[in-house]
Amino acid sequence: MPENLEELIDYIKANKAAYGMDKLRRGLLQQGVDYKDIKLALDTIEDEEESKIASFLEEGADELNGEAVLEGGISAKAQGYKRKADKILNRFSDSVGIKKQDKKIYLDILKYGAISFLFFSIIVYFFKYLGGALVYPRVSASLGVFGTLALPDIFLVQFGIWKILGLLAWSTILGAVITFIFLKFLAKVWPFSIWFKLQQKLFAFYIIFEFFFGIFINGIISAFSWVYLLGYLVILVGIVIAAYLVSNYLAIVLENKYEDQIRQLTR
């Protein structure tokens, strides 16, 4: 068993390729190595690897002139844009208090949060259409062709391609932002702390968020009526199903890639 941090770092470097990080981490914990020492060693190794990659990229960029093309078809100009984008991203992450070793996980939170909420919205939109299909005949019977004007915005009666594309694009952006905010600032705050696992936290969060902003603000508060009750219930079922599916997906992806970091974020 490694006796100090330097030996621990050398041990991890020598064995990570053969055993994989998850198996190696569990083995070290079983041997009695402190969790904080393992994390410090992993952070040190990651910093060393990032420094090597940055040094390699800088040396390669210095050798280029003008629009010389890098291997793989990336020009020096494009590489310059990438460095500028990285600087902006680093400034943003620093401004919201993200540590250097946590930047990768938060990038994936943004990415997978956007993907998850996109599919969440697709499922919910489908149930909004079903709810509207149940409600519209009753309203139409009373108001004729103007029945759609009496429906709350939460119900979808007709799909327009540009409208749906706009809604989906907005859902992608919104999903990235709210998932980031949730895992960065809200995951440890009551009442979400009563759920321990990440999947349970996300499941509750998606339901509360969509119910409040989707049903309450866009629906019930603007048109509370027994005529619409069945439609609201159908949409609520869709929200629960969508929240269950995407929370499972997002939790599995993040926990598989960042088991220890996610445990710290949601503890």
User: Tens digits of per-residue pLDDT, 88-137?
Assistant: 666 766 676 777 778 889 899 999 999 999 999 999 999 999 998 888 88
Q: How many domains does the chain have?
A: 2
Q: Which of 9-23, 97-111, 137-151 has the lowest mean pLDDT?
A: 137-151
Instruction: Note the pLDDT tens digit of each residue in 28-62.
Output: 778 888 877 778 877 887 777 766 665 655 555 55
Per-residue pLDDT of 166-218, as tens digits, reads: 989 999 999 999 999 999 888 877 677 777 788 999 999 999 998 888 888 77
243 shares a domain with 224: yes
Do 180 and 140 lie in one domain? The reply is yes
217 and 262 belong to one structural domain: yes
Pair 18, 43 in one domain: yes
Same domain? 161 vs 239: yes
Return the pLDDT at 74.
52
Whether 70 has a pLDDT exceeding 60, the answer reads no
Q: Quick one: 135 and 218 in the same domain?
A: yes
Shared domain check, 241 and 112: yes
* Residue 64 pLDDT > 50: no
Residue 148's pLDDT is 63
- Of 126 and 87, the structure prediction assigns the larger pLDDT to 126
State the residue range of the domain holding 221: 102-266
Q: Are residue 112 and residue 221 in the same domain, yes or no? A: yes
Looking at the fold, whether 113 and 194 belong to one and the same domain comes out as yes
Q: Domain end: 98, 131, 149, which one? A: 98
Is 211 found in the same domain as 251? yes
Same domain as 154, residue 89: no
Nearest in space to 184 (alpha carbons), one of 91, 255, 261, 88: 261
